[in-house]
Structure formats: C-alpha cells, structure tokens
Structure 1
Amino acid sequence: MPTIETFLLPDLGEGLTEADLLSWSVAVGDTVELNQIIAEVETVKASVELPSPYAGTVVALHAEEGWTVDVGSAFIDIETDDDAVVSTSTSPAPITTAVPTQKAAPERTPVLVGYGVAEEGISRRRRGGATPTPTVEQPAAAVPRRPLATPPVRFAAKKAGIDLAGVSATGSRGQVTRADLDLAMKNAADTPAIGPISAAADAAASTNQPVAGETRTPIKGVRKHTAAAMVRSAFTAPHVTEFVDVDVTPMMELVNSLRENKHFAGVRLTPLALVSKALLVALHTDPSLNSYWDDDAHEIVTKFYVNLGIAAATPRGLMVPNIKNAHALGLRELALALSELTRTAKDGKTGPADLADGTITITNVGVFGVDAGTPILNPGEAAILCFGSIRRRPWEHNGDIVLRSITTLSLSFDHRLVDGEQGSKFLAAIADILSDPLSLIALS
C-alpha cells in the first residue's frame, strides 16, 4: 500500500539553522529514484545538492524557489510503496562536515541519518524577511508567489534591473524563460525614461517593491553571513592597522627566476605565494599573531599550526577559505594549494570545511589595483595582512634614485592580543623577508 513520506530539510552541518532554496530539480508528479538530486540549496557557507531519501512519486513541494527554509521543516512529500528502499546515507554527498548522529523521529519513518523532525510552528520564509504561508498548497492570494525562473535567468534579470514579477511567463511549468526576459528587456529599452519618482513609486518603495531605476538584492547566504561576522568583529576586537612600503624588486626577480626552474614546471607561482611564505616564516618568530581571544575561558589561545586564510571574491560574495597546516608546506606546495583554493572558490565549490578553523588571513587587494587597505579581522583571528598592488616607483637604491617594484603591506591586528611592538616587529619581519627573499632559505 502506498505511503506518503515527508522529507525534512536536514541539518547541513555546523549548526546551520536555515537554507535558501535555489532551484528544484523535480516537480509534482515526477518519479524519483533513491538518491536522485531533487533540489539545490544554499547555506551561509556553501551550495548543496540534496538527494532524495526515497524512491517514489513527488506529491507536494513545501517551498518555492527563493524561499528560506528552516532546518527540520517539511521540504517535499514523496509517495512510496511499502517495500520502497529508504536511504541510510549519512549526509548528502557534497557536504564536507563531520558525520551527524541519528536523531529520533517520533511518529515518523526515519529518513537520512541526521535528518531531524519538524518542530511545531516552523515556517518557510521568503528571502528578504517576509513570512509566507506554511506550504505552497495555500491559496495564491495569501502570499505573492515568487516568479519561477532558473538561476541564470534570475541573474540576468537582476543585472538588467528587470523585476521578474512583471514578465509574462511562457515556460511549460509557468516559469520565466530567457526568451521571455529578452522580450521584457527589449520592451523596457523601447519605453521612454520616466522623470522623478512619483508618490506612488515612493509608496511602492516603502513596501520593498522595486521601482524604475532601482534593483533590490536580498541580503542572504554568504553576503548575510559575511556582514554579520564583520560587524561582530569590528565591534568586538579593537583593531589597529599599520603600514609599510617595501621594495620587492628582489622578490619579483626571484618569482621570475623560479617560474623558469624545472622544479616549478606546471606550477602557477605568484607574488602572493612569496608573501604567504614570508608570513609563515615570520610566525616562527612571533606566534602571538596566530592566536585568538577565548572570552568564555578568559584565555589567550596561541596556535602553533597555521591554517592560512585567503580572502577570495567569488560569485557568492566574499569568502575566506583556508589552507590547512600551511606551516608545513614548502613554497612549491604552497603555490599549488593557493591555485587550488582560488580555482575552487571561483567555481563556487568551496565547502564548509574549507572555511572553518582559520588562524590568520591574507587579503590581496593588489589584484584590483588597490595600493593599501585597513581590513577587518576575520572573526576569531588575531591578525590579517593586506597585500597591495606592486608598482614601479622612484626609490632610493644604493645611493641612487631608480625605478623599483614597490608594494604596501598593511597589518590589522587585535590590540587585546597583540601590542604595538609585536605588531610592528611582525610586519617589519615580513617586509625584510620580501626585500631579501633568499632569507626564506635560511629561516624556513
């Protein structure tokens, strides 16, 4: 006899309480197989594909694309046969967190290990703060439905400033297609520009509805997490930032030389790899920069291993994945790890484990043509090094004024953990290594 099983949104790791539904891979009436991907969701740490814990027929979807769904709430209903196989997988394959423990599921057949049961009153929320009705089966008049569209179409609409709610949808499931969007963009281009925003437009803006000349981007996912973390860091740790200009001509000469060396064949060696290595060497002298303030225990915890964070701009926002045990890597291995970290971040495949347990961070603003900055500490860390652009500038060298490769390094540190002398000596040590990079051989 068929049974309707309700799949609950699982705990996706590290105590996360919610996820944004990016897209459904199935629709009501579809037949699904065990472990078939049914949806893609995004947490504050990573995008995750969810496999089905049941084989059967989809009878209900409890959330729409774009909604924020609470962990433990109903996600999808699947009609199964009594003898249908139930998945016992520990977690969806892309999740790189510790294996969760089995949770009790009273009056419900257990699904994937670690999937909890829904608590009373848990609701699904639209990104942006509005709370919709509990399930999508409610009358459409109760809550404005978010137009259906694939992520690429949503991205193109956002970039063009087009509100998908006003676009006629011709897709087979009622979704806005790329052709629909292109037509809407053409019509918008043919429409004369309007004058100042009217009182009616002001009223629309007060209800968070987009008006002409504006676009609204929900604060969600990585951006939401990053904003909260930066505010917490800025108002918790007393920041101090120091600067130093460095003649890195010898470093650039070494980089160019090593690129031609057979031992670095196939390795993308960048100045950032040398800066990272210099920081790691400097930590040997003063590990206090590799510590954190444990407020609960009233202790300063100094770490003698280095998980080196690299601030990376990704399509999902700013992320700080880290290279585990970077202190144990030689220059070649460090360069390879940096290349892999950057490639993974740009592909949007950075997982929760890649972001956890960082101990000190480097942010490379030089790639954007910026000379210096005053970066905010990554929460739980004592210092962050900012690496500026490398420019050819007049510089005194051996008694003459000549063109040299100059960069600016800035170091922000937590003044509770690091005093001015420690911070100054640490920054000076990095500068000395980069101006005489052969010292890497002697010190590392």
Structure 2
Amino acid sequence: MASNGEGNAMAEAGREGGGPVRRVLVTPQEERFLGLWQDFWWSTGKQVHGQGTLYRLAAHSLSAAEMERWHERQRMAGEEIPRYAPIFRESAASRISRALPGMILGELVGDAVGISAADGAPFGQSSSFAQLTLFSLEALIATRLWADVNGKWADQENLRAAEFFAVLMWGHAQGTAWSEIMSGDRAARFPHPLGWLAARPEMRFRAHPDEAALGAVRDFATRNRASAVAGNDSRSAGVLASSVPLAMWSDAPDRLVALATKNAALTHGAPQAHVSAAALAVVCNALLNEHDLRTAVREAIEAVGALDGAADTVRALETVLTAAEVSTVEEFARTFDGVWTADAVLGVAVHAAMVHGRDFDRAVTESAGVQGDRPATAGVCGALVGIASGVAAIPAARLSPLAVGGVAQELIDDALAEFASANPPRSQEWHDRYDHLRGL
C-alpha cells in the first residue's frame, strides 16, 4: 500500500488522466522547489517568454528567501528531477492488445469499402479520413514517449501539440509542401517533416480529403501559428478521425472529452463537431474496456450531454438506442438530411454496428451504402466492430488488399510496444522515430 503522500500523488494523476501513475521519490530540497516552482508558474502564467522576463517576474513576485531557494535548486542541477511515471497494468495492456488491431484495421477496411461505394474504385485504397487516424496514432505514441521521459503526464497541451503536428504531417502527405507549412523560425526548428509516417508513399494517396482539416493546415502556413479554435463553422466527419485511437489514452470519460474537444477544435470550429468527436472517443474507450455497445453509447451520452452544442449528437445516439431494434441502417440514415455531418456519421455508424455487430462485412457494407460521407461512416463502423469483436472478426480477404495495410500493421506493433508493454522501447532508434515533441 502506498504512503499517504504517494497515494495523493496517484489520485491527482488519476484525475488528470493518462492512466495510473506512481510518484518517483524526491529529496526534501526538491520537494521545496516543486512547491515554489508551481506557485511561480501559477502566478505568472504560461504566456511569459524569455529568461530575462522570467527572472524579473520571479524577483518581483517572490520573497528574498524564496528566491534563494530558487537559486539553490538551480545550483542542484544534475540531480534527479521529480516526475510521474506510469504504472504498468497487465489487465489494461491485455485489453489494448486485444482491441487495437481490430480498431485500426477495422477502420481501414470500412474506409476502403466506403471509397469503393463512393467512387467505384477497386477495393483497397484508404481515404484521407483513415490516413488522419494513422497520423493521430503516431502522435499518441510520440506523446507517450515524451510524457514518460519528461514526467509530464498531466499536461493536455502536449497531446494537443502532437495532434496538431499530426494534422500538419497529414496535410503534407496530402500534397502541401513542407516549406509552405513551416516558415520563419519554425522552418529552422523543423526543417523536415517529423516522424516516419509522412515519408511513406502509401500515405500520399489523396481521396475525399476533409476540407476543414486542409483549411487548418493552410491557416497555419499563413499565420505560422495554430488557432485555439479553427476559424470555420465546419461540422464535417473528418473531426472524428483522431478520436478512435484516443480511446487508449485514458479510461476517465471527462478526460477523454476534454482531450477530444481540444483536438477537434484544431480543425473544426463548430461546437457540435467537438461533441461528436468526444462522444466517439468515449464509445471507443468503453468498448475497449469490454462494455457492450449499448452501454458504451449511454456512457457517451452522459459524458457529453452538458457540453455546448450537444443536442444533435445526443439526439442521434439516443435515437440509435431505440431505432436499432426497429429500423434498417438505410431507414435510419434517411432520418438525417444526408449523412455528412459528424453527428449523422456517428449515429449511422453506431446503428450499423449495433444491428450487425456479429457480421463485420455486412455492418461496414450497409454503412457504406448511405447518401453522405461513405468512407467516414463505414470507417467508424469498422472501428467499432473491430474493437468489440477483435481483428479476427474482419475477413482475411478484406485485409490483404489494403494499400496501407503494411504501414498500419507497423504502426500498430509500435503502439502496442509503447502502450501495452511493461518496458516500452527507449533506444535511440525509438527516439529518432517518435520524439516529435523534442523541439517544441
């Protein structure tokens, strides 16, 4: 059993999300410094830049005795810095190992079925929706590596920064030159695309790109900074792409909602889109934790019901709970004015998964038959069925033709090594592959 101090640290970290953690023991001097440093940052805020400005603000805000302790801690450089470290849970690792392959490959297969239905193309291609999901998974691995090495498990902005870089990598893969995305001082800090995924030719196939996400990339290229909320009113389904892998990050619904809405705001300005993204993250996490789909939907409704703009998403999910027993996927889809918005795509995907959850192929095929964003609808449906039933539910004949299948499997293996291993890789090769946040 942990001591009171360690138990409090674990409880605090649990509220922040990111899984249970243990507090690494520190010296009494380091404990004093931690309190001083925390008070300092709360008093000055995060918008302060420059060492000289920091020093002047500190000297003005802190007493002489506190300043002496601050300098004392600076002189202690080289000693171990206190941090939070993750606690490995065999049960959680087992659930992730079971669910993740089906989650990602299920989405890719559904997405490919949707492209074929929309364009008549041969089966196997991936749309920009599925590609953005893969970039988001790469960002999660990078964030967990950075958080583990630096002990920053409580900082939501690190995950948001990594997700935004995922959007930029995706935009580059969609055809925007890196020199156009990065300019000024950022070009010197990031002369090349981050990570390995953007360099893979399989990721450069352009199909059904989400215009809101592309707009966010163009806006960043113009202003050289990300917006707190995207300057559009888009409710398009592309906002759902990053929510599927986010289900691995935390088992706390409020934490998932906060993270999903922040990520969604990077590319989509409409609150309704943020709610749909949050609801999908909660549903996927509940399925990962082996709840049935109906229970997962109820948990999502409860988690997002009080958010601004929640009405459409809540209405879609509540209707699914009753309509799944009495209507076909096609009939349910007709209750929307086209299945284009995130709430409609989420509703139809959940409906198809609920009606045909034991038949992966039928679920994604019927969800791809709607009038609307077919790749996104079938992709989300495939992810839901894949999480719930595992990769074994996906017909092998559907997996082999996937153009990004090899890349996806490589990424899945890396994600399992990072999220489902008691000793995740920490070699220089791993850092070269995933240390995206080093320059931020």
Q: TM-score range by the shorter chain?
A: under 0.3
Higher strand content, 1 or 2: 1
Higher helix content, 1 or 2: 2
**Higher relative contact order (CA closer than 8 Å, sequence separation 6+):** 2
